[in-house]
Every structure is written in C-alpha cells, then in structure tokens.
Structure 1
Amino acid sequence: MNFFHIFIELLIGFIALLLLTKILGKTEITQITTFDFVSVLVLGELVGNALYDDKIGIPEILSAVGIWGFLIYLTEFFTQKFRASRAILEGKPSIIIDKGKIDYNEIKKNHLDLNQLQHLLRAKDIFSFSECYYAILETDGTISAMKKQMFSTPTKQDLNLPLQNTSLPISVIMDGEIIQENLSLIQYDEDTLSKELKRLGISSYKEILYAEWQENMPLYIQKY
C-alpha cells in the first residue's frame, strides 16, 4: 500500500469522523458515559484498522463509519424520546453518601472503593467523609456533592450583604489580536476599544497578551 493511498483514506476517514461528531453533538465528550466511551473507541478502531488493510477501501471506511454512527444516533434518539431506556443505555446516578452515611451497597454495585471515593470528594473540596452530607455518582463517573451545613460556605444572603447582578466576562484581545466577534457583544468597535486603551496608557492592542471586559468593571489587561 503506497503512502498516497494511506493519505487519501486517512483524509476521508478524518472528514467522516468530523462530520459524524458534528451530527451527534457535543454529548460524546461533555457528558460521556461508559457506552459513549466504548463507542468512540470502536469508531476510531474502525478507521484505524481500515487504513492498513489492502482489501478495505474508501467505500468500506465510509460504510463502517456511517453504520456505527447511525447506531450511536439511534441510541441517542431512544434515550431522548423514551425515558425508560435511559437507565439501560446510559445508566443512572447513584446516591453513595446519604445524609452523611456512606452507602456501602451502592459503592459495591458501582465497583468503587473508598480510596477512589476520597479522590472524587477531594476534587469537590471535601477532604473528610464527615464533611459530606450527600454525594451522587453521576453516569459519566464524576461526583456531585453537598457539604454538611456546618462546613458549607456562607452566602451573601446568609450574611445579609447586598446582592449585585453578575455579568459574563468577555475576551476582547487575545495574543495581540482583537476578537472582532466579541466586540459586538459588548457594543464596542475598534475605535472605542482603542480610545479605552489609550486612556489606560496603552498605544496599541498588539502590546496586550490578554484583555477582558466585564460590565461595571475596568478592563482587565495583561501585557506580554
């Protein structure tokens, strides 16, 4: 098999996988379950193995990707339309700490040991089982946890502090380049931004590594 043929098959496989991920959506990565993980591995293997098999060409690669992609799409369709199928195809969350007590049966059922549970809790800023009131093992293997009230961080409401609206920080300059699409979000243009920079003693946006805008806040700027 010559390198040109490998290049063509690899290019076609890459495009097919790219299109497939666009069609299937972002849940393959952002909310990946055990089944999703296996399906992605199989999909990659289908393309990878086909590259070095002389008897398999582009039509076979596209067919394999298309059929496997259709099966994944069909699975996602069923889980969206039929709630009863979600427990079978996606699994369901498990309460592994209930009102401060570790549920040993749920831990065994999910093949989780106490060291792994400690690791997951530490990622949620909980360093002792005694601090945790509820812990839920999600279908993607992450954990959602609620601290006991005595260990929870007080809110502004608890402290009777005045509440203020928050706004989303928006990047306006990155790597010395203006992010044009973000300027319209904050009703800025290049002239307005340049005037603001000059007011801050900066002659050119090319001097800036990163700049961020937030409502009712001065521009956050970091130079090179």
Structure 2
Amino acid sequence: MNYVEILMRTILAVGLLLLIPRILGKQTLSNMTSNDFVTSITLGSLAANLAFNISLKSSYLVLSLVVITATSFVLSLIALKSRKMRSWISGSPTVLIENGKILEANMRKIHYTLDSLDQALREKEIFNIEEVDYAVLEDNGQLSVLKKEAYQLVTKQDMGLLLHAQAFPVELIMDGKLVEKNLKLHGLTREWLEKELKHKAKGKTLSDVFYAVRGTQQQLVFDFYEDGIQQPLDQE
C-alpha cells in the first residue's frame, strides 16, 4: 500500500507544481525576483515531502502548498499596487558601474565581488571593463550593461539604410501538421500555402514539410523531412 500511496502522492505533487506557475505567472519559472525565488524553493520542498514523506499527512502538505501559493500571489498583487512595497517584496536594481566608474560601496552593500562582476561582463561578451558606461544588477540577479557610445554596434538607422516594416513570425506547419488556427487568424488558406510551396520547391507537397513559417519580412521558409544531407553531423 505504501507504493500505491507514494505513486498517488507523487502524481498529485507534480500536478500541483504544474498548476501553480499558471496561477503565479511565468516569472516563477525564469527571471525570478526575491519573492519568486523564496516561493519556488518552498514549493519544491513541500512537493518533495508530499511525494515521498508518508509520515506527514498529504492533506497538511496540500494545505501548505495552497497557503504558500496564495501568499505569493497576494504579495505579487501588493508589489503591483505599491512601488514602496515592491522594492521590499521583489528587490530593487543596484547600480554597479556609473559613468565608467565602479561603485565599490554598492558592491559591498549587496556582497557582490569583482570576480562576479568580471564573470557577468564576460557573459555579455565584454572582456574590457573600459567599454562599460553603466552596469546594473537587476532584482532577478541578471546584469544589464550599457556600453560607452564608442563601443556600441552600428545600426541600420545609424547608417541611414532603408528600414522595412517587420511582422511577427507565423508558424504554419509544426511537426508535419498544418496549424489551422494560425492560417485562419491571418487570413491564409491551405490552397494558398500549397501554391506557395510549388513555387518554392517543385515536386513537394504539404506532407513532405516538417516545419513552415512566414518570417518577419513575410517570406516563407520550409523545412522538409528529407533534407538531402548524405552524412549528417553528430550521427552515430
């Protein structure tokens, strides 16, 4: 009976953990604030006990999960309403470099070392600290960097090039299946897609397509099941 109970409790724990991020929001999964971090750790611990610790009643653990979720949800609402409370609940950004100067006092206040700063800059592909004008440690632990103007990349606008309107990519075929919803939403039809496919790849039909997307410039891109590559890389 213990095996059956553990099985049922584990399924319940996984189900609750899948449900909770839908209630709290996607920030619980990534770019976590202090509130999200504490909530995630607590929920993970409670879910593990719910799955395997049969000495504790499952109803108690489920209640704890509900209370933690509700508390985190309420704190998130408070953070949305009050800017003053938001800094305490979610944390606040800390400026580490200003006008190219490292702010040692700010780094000491948050116990952030030069080694950590150098590592975070390298992850931004910055190996020379002299390139940095401003660096801010966000409340989710990520470093945001503004380079000095001399080290910033040139854009099309800087070069005076003609700018074209862009659209969000629309996936039309996924895993070989037609995405009818996307076609209908953008006023497209299966017949139109078949016609475009004939222009792009003669002799191919929709059944040959693994993936199809209309890109940012309205261009159509097709990927077929048969790629025509004789010796694919990483093939054992």
- What is the TM-score with the length of structure 1 in the denominator? 0.90
**Secondary structure, counterpart of 2:158 in structure 1:** coil
* Cα deviation, residue 135, structure 1: 0.9
* Cα deviation, residue 32, structure 1: 0.4
* Cα deviation, residue 213, structure 1: 0.4
**Secondary structure, counterpart of 2:223 in structure 1:** strand
How far apart are the structure 1 equivalents of 2:164 and 2:121? 31
**Secondary structure, counterpart of 1:161 in structure 2:** coil
Identity of aligned residues (%): 30
Could you say which residue in structure 1 is the equivalent of 2:209?
208
**Secondary structure, counterpart of 1:59 in structure 2:** helix
Matched, 1:26 2:43: no
Could you say which residue in structure 2 is the equivalent of 1:91?
91
User: What letter matches 1:105 in structure 2?
Assistant: A
**Secondary structure, counterpart of 1:95 in structure 2:** strand
How far apart are the structure 1 equivalents of 2:53 and 2:19? 23
**Larger deviation: 138-147 or 28-37?**
28-37
Q: CA RMSD in A?
A: 2.0
The equivalences for 1:24-173 within 5 A come to: 24-173=24-173
Q: Deviations over 1:46-71 (max 9, x none)?
A: 12113333343332232111111111
* Cα deviation, residue 13, structure 1: 2.2
Give yes or no for contact 1:212–1:221 (8 Å, CA) kept in 2: yes
User: What letter matches 1:130 in structure 2?
Assistant: E
* Cα deviation, residue 112, structure 1: 2.0
Could you say which residue in structure 2 is the equivalent of 1:223?
224
Structure 2 gap segments, 5+ residues each: 226-236
Q: Deviations over 1:71-110 (max 9, x none)?
A: 1112112211221111212111011110111111222222
How far apart are the structure 1 equivalents of 2:85 and 2:203? 58
* Cα deviation, residue 111, structure 1: 2.1
* Cα deviation, residue 12, structure 1: 2.1
Give yes or no for contact 2:197–2:205 (8 Å, CA) kept in 1: yes
**Secondary structure, counterpart of 1:157 in structure 2:** helix
Q: Deviations over 1:160-185 (max 9, x none)?
A: 22222111122222322222222234
Give yes or no for contact 2:213–2:220 (8 Å, CA) kept in 1: yes
Give yes or no for contact 2:95–2:137 (8 Å, CA) kept in 1: yes
* Cα deviation, residue 128, structure 1: 1.1
User: What letter matches 1:31 in structure 2?
Assistant: N
**Secondary structure, counterpart of 1:6 in structure 2:** helix
Count of aligned pairs between the two proteins: 224
How far apart are the structure 2 equivalents of 1:126 and 1:67? 44
Give yes or no for contact 2:34–2:89 (8 Å, CA) kept in 1: no
* Cα deviation, residue 215, structure 1: 5.4
How far apart are the structure 1 equivalents of 2:216 and 2:157? 22
How far apart are the structure 2 equivalents of 1:222 and 1:50? 45
User: What letter matches 2:80 in structure 1?
Assistant: Q
**Larger deviation: 132-141 or 54-63?**
54-63
Give yes or no for contact 1:78–1:85 (8 Å, CA) kept in 2: yes
